[in-house]
Structure 1
Amino acid sequence: MDLRNSIAHGNESSSEVGRRFTPDDLQKRFENINEYCSYIILVFQNYIEKKHYLKTV
């Protein structure tokens, strides 16, 4: 599903594409993205706090 290209090339308007998504769809997408980003931050935070970037001898 490449909706961005359809809009960019004028094949569909953004309002046509946007009306396909319900507020619940958008809320679920937001929650999934938020969960994924939180996980990435947690992994990096752990990496830095435990100094895993240092070479062990």
Structure 2
Amino acid sequence: MSRFSEVKNLVMNLEADFEKFYEKGNQAAGTRVRKGMQELKTLAQDIRSEVQNMKNAG
């Protein structure tokens, strides 16, 4: 479940930047959002691979 916690923390840490970008039009916050979403995508892919390997092993 620690992987799930990583995903939750990453999303929660992006919340302020989402607000700054969408509500205030802060372009730097948009860059941080894009970077964070890329990290989320990478983490999700790692988790998918881990789950698939565990499923196939057992």
Larger-gyration structure (1/2): 1
- TM-score (norm. length: structure 1): 0.48
Larger relative contact order (Cα-Cα within 8 Å, sequence gap ≥ 6): 2
- TM-score (norm. length: structure 2): 0.48
